[in-house]
């Protein structure tokens, strides 16, 4: 998995394609400040490679995600209750992991960097906090706010800004980018083997690197690629995919080793008529400009461009729960699967250390290493790490 803190091996997926509903609200008015180029917004990356920042909504500070995989910006039911936002129209939206219930309401004012929108509607969703790991958010900023402007993301400096469409603040590899006609999602393309794959959703809220539908993967997969399984969370629930590591995948003129997810042909990408998705796990290796109105995405290699993909050598996907780890998934064909590990098992110590103090690379360590895992029932098991995909 392409994460710098790989002990917790899970990545979040978002994705929300909301239907069009009419809500009684003041008309939406957008205003981009004349000094927007100077209004950088600092952010932190979540454990799932998502852009988390603080902004203002209706005069309240709110923790937000910058998420081009969301067509209509949304707040959580928790924030709506606290802010006195009343649900006006009920509906459902298509999301990664399945359908999700939502309601619509009107808002007074939302700010993102140099952009201010007054009036308009926003969705209210009951978001599973696991989609953002240990850092819950209450606002998902989607393409309805972002797509009319150029969005520059400087992952190395952990900041972003909104610019007038057409600006080109840096040079790099240019790819086509547009808004999909039906879904309103950002879409581009990539190359796998000899084939050009398009459309591919560009989703800053997806923590993975690249996802492809199963039929596209089968038609374009290089030979002798081993796969395993992994799980993640979308706004619509838990998703289990096959994963593989590709030594080279090209996006424009750039090539990189990537972790690839293979999702079902009934999954979110296929339902949106796309071949797959480019997520934050790949985007974070670059300086990024997303400008669908100018029909271009620009990528320049960043400090992380040559980072190798971090692979699990244990096969245990775990989450920290206070002073213990819970096994969430046992990856197919892994040492853990061969040793009979099961989801739900609780681990209280690693090589004699409390889980919070153990080295964070224990699950992705050198093949052949023996890791002692003490379960919370008092038993101890030894797991021998190995390459398995």
Question: If you average pLDDT over every residue of the chain, what do you get?
Answer: 91
- 16 band by pLDDT with thresholds 50, 70 and 90: low
pLDDT at residue 10 greater than cutoff 60: no
Domains of the chain in start order, with CATH, are 11-163 (2.40.70.10), 173-301 (2.40.70.10), 316-384 (2.30.42.10)
Of the two residues 16 and 191, the one the predictor is more confident about is 191
What mean pLDDT do residues 126-152 have?
88
Indicate the pTM of the whole model: 0.90
Query: Which range (14-28, 103-117, 240-254) has the least confidence?
Result: 14-28
pLDDT at residue 5 greater than cutoff 70: no
pLDDT at 371: 98
What mean pLDDT do residues 115-128 have?
93
- 3-state SS, the chain, equals CCCCCCCCCCEECCCEECCCCCCCCCCCEEEECCCHHHCCEECEECCCCCEEEEEEECCEEEEEEECCCECCCEEEHHHHHHHCCCCCEEEEEEECCEEEEEEEEECCEEEECCEEEECCEEEEECCCHHHHCCCCCCEEECHHHHCCCEEEEECCCCEEEEECCCCCCCCCEEECCEECCCCCCEEEEEEECCEEEEEEEEECCCCCCEEEEHHHHHHHCCCCCCCEEEEEEECCEEEEEEEEEEEEEEECCEEEEEEEEEECCCCHHHHCCCCEEEEHHHHCCEEEEEECCCCEEEEEECCCCCCCCCCCCCCEEEEEECCEEEEEEECCCCHHHHCCCCCCCEEEEECCEECCCCCCCHHHCCCCCEEEEEECCCCEEEEECCCCC
């Amino acid at each position: 998995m392409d994460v710098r803190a790989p002990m917790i091996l899970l990545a979040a997926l978002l994705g929300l394609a909301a239907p069009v509903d009419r809500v009684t609200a003041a008309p939406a008015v957008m205003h981009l400040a004349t000094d927007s180029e100077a209004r950088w917004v600092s952010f932190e990356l979540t454990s799932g490679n998502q852009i988390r920042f603080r902004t203002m909504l209706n005069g309240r500070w709110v923790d937000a995600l910058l998420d081009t995989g969301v067509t209509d910006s949304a707040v959580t039911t928790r924030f709506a209750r606290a802010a006195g936002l009343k649900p006006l129209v009920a509906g459902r939206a298509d999301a990664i992991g399945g359908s999700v219930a939502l309601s619509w309401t009107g808002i007074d004012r939302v700010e993102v960097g140099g952009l201010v929108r007054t009036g308009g509607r926003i969705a209210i969703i009951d978001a599973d906090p696991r989609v953002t790991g240990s850092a819950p958010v209450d606002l998902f900023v989607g393409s309805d706010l972002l797509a009319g402007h150029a969005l520059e993301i400087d992952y190395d400096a952990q900041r972003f800004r909104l610019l007038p469409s057409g600006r080109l603040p840096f040079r790099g590899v240019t790819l086509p980018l547009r808004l999909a006609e039906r879904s309103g999602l950002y879409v581009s393309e990539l190359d796998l083997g000899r084939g050009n794959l398009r459309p591919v959703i560009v989703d800053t809220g997806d923590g993975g690197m690249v996802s492809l539908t199963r039929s596209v993967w089968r038609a374009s997969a290089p030979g002798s690629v081993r796969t395993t399984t992994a799980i993640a969370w979308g706004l619509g629930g838990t998703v289990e995919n096959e994963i593989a590591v590709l030594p080279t995948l090209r996006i424009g003129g750039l090539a990189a080793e990537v972790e690839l997810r293979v999702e079902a042909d009934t999954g979110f990408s296929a339902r949106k008529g796309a071949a797959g998705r480019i997520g934050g796990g790949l985007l974070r290796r670059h300086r990024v400009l997303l400008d669908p109105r100018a029909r271009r995405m620009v990528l320049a290699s960043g400090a992380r461009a040559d980072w190798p993909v971090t692979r699990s050598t244990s096969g245990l996907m775990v989450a920290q729960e206070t002073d213990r780890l819970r096994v969430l998934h046992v990856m197919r064909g892994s040492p853990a699967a061969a040793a009979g590990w099961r989801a739900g098992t609780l681990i209280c110590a690693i090589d004699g250390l409390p889980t919070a103090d153990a080295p964070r690379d224990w699950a992705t360590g050198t093949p052949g290493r023996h890791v002692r895992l003490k379960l919370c029932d008092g038993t101890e098991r030894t797991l021998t790490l190995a390459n398995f995909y």
